[in-house]
Amino acid sequence: MDKSVGLQGIRYKGGGTMLAWVLHRIGGLAMVVFVGMHVLSGFSMQQFGSDIGTAINTVYESPYFQVFIYFFVIFHILNGLRIIVLDVWPKLLQYQREVTWLQWLVFVPVYGLAVFLMIQKALAGG
């Protein structure tokens, strides 16, 4: 019997809850990078008055970076709340897939509103 798996062994099979797990981890890393950039920028501007701090500010104040970081912050918050709910009420674990869909149903309009407001602010020149 051939036990080789080939490319089928690395194919994603996790579904929505696994995607939520991955996005939660990426969101945590994104927030750590953002806070690190913020601290590094403030430190370099105060201590050296350098252009490095200004360049870092330009990166994390750009609308593209903000859309990216808002996605992960809002998702991380809602996914964390979902995890807390499932931990506090373990009987809901049998409905984990439905709770994940509920999380997405809350996430999409909240994130959509945030992006809309960011675009509106960018177009107004603010």
Domain ranges of the chain: 16-123
Mean pLDDT, rounded, for 51-68 = 87
- Whether the pLDDT of residue 12 is over 80: the answer is no
pLDDT at residue number 27:
94
Please tell me the CATH code under which domain 16-123 is placed. Answer: 1.20.1300.10
Residue 24: Cβ-neighbour burial (10 angstroms; 0-12, 13-18, 19+): middle
Through-space distance between the first and last CA atoms of the chain, rounded to whole angstroms: 65
pLDDT, one tens digit per residue, over 71-114 is 999 999 999 999 999 999 999 989 988 999 999 999 999 999 99
Give helix 15-48 / helix 63-88 axis angle, nearest 10°.
130
Mean pLDDT, rounded, for 57-70 = 89
